[in-house]
A and B are shown apart, each in its own frame.
Chain A
Amino acid sequence: KAGVTQTPRYLIKTRGQQVTLSCSPISGHRSVSWYQQTPGQGLQFLFEYFSETQRNKGNFPGRFSGRQFSNSRSEMNVSTLELGDSALYLCASSLIMTALYGYTFGSGTRLTVV
């Protein structure tokens, strides 16, 4: 079966701009989580969506937002980009919320802010 698909794979944006990242979960998976990976901080939880509702949120500023559509696809938006937002953004999907070993990660979107 197809895995978790994230688009685009690479993105270069200018400071102050906004960006939207997309994630298509595994077919049938209803939960989508987003994580940010940076060399200094490792993998940090951004938020989790289930049935089009944000269920959990990490400690990120309001510039980071997301949504989930009825087909479980999810988008993540970052507004007023800062240099520190440069990171690998990973999406993970699972059948149910707060899944444990059921998380499947995509390959990520590498965002560079210049």
Chain B
Amino acid sequence: DQQVKQNSPSLSVQEGRISILNCDYTNSMFDYFLWYKKYPAEGPTFLISISSIKDKNEDGRFTVFLNKSAKHLSLHIVPSQPGDSAVYFCAARGSQGNLIFGKGTKLSVKP
């Protein structure tokens, strides 16, 4: 059973608007969550993270929100830029310390 779910395989947004990528998880014991961005033919690169003791973390145009009661987190990108077009992976730290990834959401930002 998938422990980290990204239910939207793709998202299309206009340049300058907000992009909201969503992620749900099933295990309430997860203590750390991360977002990675991946371009074709490259490995994932770390974007932003959040500890389970927080509900928001911000880094420039990127903000991650965590709702523990709903087991839901989201990544907001404001304003969206064409260079943000990539596949975004949500991940949670598992009990063994490994990362458990969602299947990714492909974001397309149109000029």
Report A's interface with B, CB cutoff 8 A: 4, 33, 35, 41-45, 48, 55-56, 58, 90, 92, 97-98, 100-101, 103-108
Contacts and interface: CB of A to CB of B under 8 A. Distances in A.
Contact of B89 (A4, A43, A45, A56): A43
B93 A56 contact: no
29 contacts: A33-B98, A35-B101, A42-B101, A42-B103, A43-B44, A43-B91, A45-B94, A45-B98, A45-B99, A48-B96, A55-B97, A56-B96, A58-B98, A98-B93, A98-B97, A98-B98, A100-B32, A100-B34, A101-B34, A101-B49, A103-B99, A104-B43, A104-B46, A105-B45, A106-B43, A107-B41, A107-B42, A107-B43, A108-B43
B32 A56 contact: no
Given A4-B43, A100-B49, A101-B46, A44 B101 contact: yes
Contacts of A4: 43
Nearest to A33: B98
A7 B34 CA distance: 27
Given A42-B103, A43-B89, A105 B98 contact: no
Interface residues of B, number: 23
A-side interface mostly: strand
Contacts of A108: 43
A23 B111 CA distance: 38
A58 B89 CA distance: 19
Contacts of A35: 99, 101
Nearest to A58: B98
B44 A105 contact: yes
